[in-house]
Chains A and B, each alone.
Chain A
Amino acid sequence: MRKILLAIDAQHLSNKTIDFACYVAALTKSKLTGIFLENLLIEEMSELAQASSYNNDVPLSYERNKITDENIRSFREACEKRGVNTNIHRKRGAPAQEMIEESRFADLIITNAETSFKKKMENTPSEFVKEILEKAECPVIIAPGSFDGIDEIIFSYNKSRSSVLAIKQFVYLFPEFQNKKITLLEVNKENEIGVRAKPRISEWLKTYYDEVDFKLLTGDCEEELFKYLLNKKNLFLVMGAYGRNAFSSLIKPSRASLIVKTTDFPIFIAHH
């Protein structure tokens, strides 16, 4: 059993993210802990604004609490329908900081790339997600926009300690994927020979998986990765530290028309 945290904006529930999180929880026979996050600073500013407008309506905090309570109820029901047990932590403070503190005592965080606690519309990934990716003390999975199962695991590998660590963390957390198609995708810069470490990574992977496909891409890491993954479906992508940057590139605003396709798979990011 793993301790799986799902980062939830207490004011905005995402059913698709819950779908994916329940899939992971059910697969690993784990409880799902919903971390309902409320940005205290935003709330206080909103209340101040309301107070200064001499508005005699019901206090904003009452409305917000009502929405949060309703979302907690909906989350519980959604998980129950999918046969997943839940736990709820309600956090009112700085959302990213709260998640980072929780991550020390967790095996995994699942979050949606768009989860944001700012009043203005943000780019994806949001500042909240970027901060989680940088500072979380456990691996993070960016949930897909829509989800239809997993047929293939792609390990993104660049010979670095970080990429091996990410692969290890994924292997330890998800022995349930042992029988899926496994691909080790190595991305090298131009003119770099990337064979020397291959026997070692190959030797280690084969203690866990019967068959591993190897693919070598050469060129700009983010660009080549993006091209390779375009139009692929039902895969789980695993990345190390550079995944934080590569992930942002995968869904740059300039590629907005491809966002749904390129992020239609979950991305597991771990780093040391």
Chain B
Amino acid sequence: MKKILFVCDGDNFSIGAFALIKLLQEKEPISVKGIFFTPVDFQELIPISYIPTAEPYVKLKSKERMIVKKSKESFIKNCDSLNISFDIHDENEEWTVESFAKETRFADLAIISEELFCADLSQHQPNIFMQEALRHAECAVILVPENFKSIDRIVVAYDGKKESMFALRQFSHLLSQFTDIPSEFVFLKNEENDEIPDADLLKEYARLHFNSISITKLHIDPKKYFASWTNDKKNILLVAGSFSRSVVSELFKSSFSAEIIHGHQLPVFIAHHS
């Protein structure tokens, strides 16, 4: 049975993320661990830090804990209603990337809201907390938009490199229940020829794991146009291998999946090897 992390900050309880959990449970029983942490609100925290007594800080922390408690209660109620086996992370509720990374080491998948994750700090996604989470996660992550309904098609972003194949392998091992649906392997490069790196080896691998495949080359600049290309496709899950830790901000800048996340368009499965 797979162990899935449901990650929630403050009262940003994600309906979309939970809809995906429901879909996964329908395919096969899963175990879900809720990771809740208090919201980071610098606008409230900074003025308080100047006050020479502890009381305002204590009040703020108490308020934050109440917010988290409400999210936990929603989580428990939803899991109970769907008969999902669950657990709750019971340690210090302040966000630390180390704590998050440690939880992901012992999990199979983390599910995070593409729109709401730490949105109180910055609604421009992926914000700094999401970037941190994606870089340090030691398991695959799915970012889910709030309007998530279902998955009817898989799109694999393929560039012939180690990372994209690692993501594909992780997807086919972890979510084999989705390998029956139509799957498109897309190589994006703005050039004239039709060559796709190691196309034969890709085809050989894909045929063993997926029931219905197509391999396409898009002669477009992925950063500029991939988001538009996916825009008129409904209910797809994008599989990508970006957010590798070794090339931190530069990779992030050039990552077309960052554009998808920014547009909150579709769920993105991200797995990287670092």
Contact = CB atoms under 8 A, between A and B. Distances in A.
Nearest to B162: A137
A87 B201 CA distance: 12
17 contacts: A1-B208, A1-B209, A2-B208, A104-B198, A104-B201, A105-B198, A105-B202, A164-B138, A168-B108, A168-B139, A173-B173, A200-B106, A207-B1, A207-B2, A207-B31, A272-B273, A272-B274
Contact of A204 (B107, B201, B273): B107
Contact of B106 (A30, A87, A102, A201): A201
Most B CB contacts (10 A, CB to CB) among A31, A102, A104 go to A104
A105 B103 CA distance: 29
A67 B195 CA distance: 35
Contact of B201 (A30, A31, A105): A105
Interface in A156-209: 161, 164-165, 168, 172-173, 200-201, 203-204, 207-208
A3 interface: yes
B234 interface: no
B169 interface: yes
Contacts of B57: none
Contact of A172 (B173, B208, B209): B173
Given A30-B208, A31-B208, A207-B1, 12 more contacts: A2-B208, A3-B204, A87-B204, A102-B201, A104-B198, A105-B202, A137-B165, A138-B169, A161-B105, A172-B174, A200-B102, A204-B107
B229 interface: no
Interface of B: 1-3, 31, 87, 102-103, 105-108, 138-139, 162, 165-166, 169, 173-174, 198, 201-202, 204-205, 208-209, 273-274
A217 interface: no
B3 A204 contact: yes
A222 interface: no
Interface in A98-140: 102, 104-107, 137-138
A178 B102 CA distance: 25
Contacts of B198: 104-105
Interface of A: 1-3, 30-31, 87, 102, 104-107, 137-138, 161, 164-165, 168, 172-173, 200-201, 203-204, 207-208, 272
Given A105-B198, A207-B2, A161 B138 contact: yes
A164 B105 contact: yes
Contacts of A207: 1-3, 31
Contacts of B139: 168
A131 to B, nearest CB: 16
Most B CB contacts (10 A, CB to CB) among A102, A172, A272 go to A172
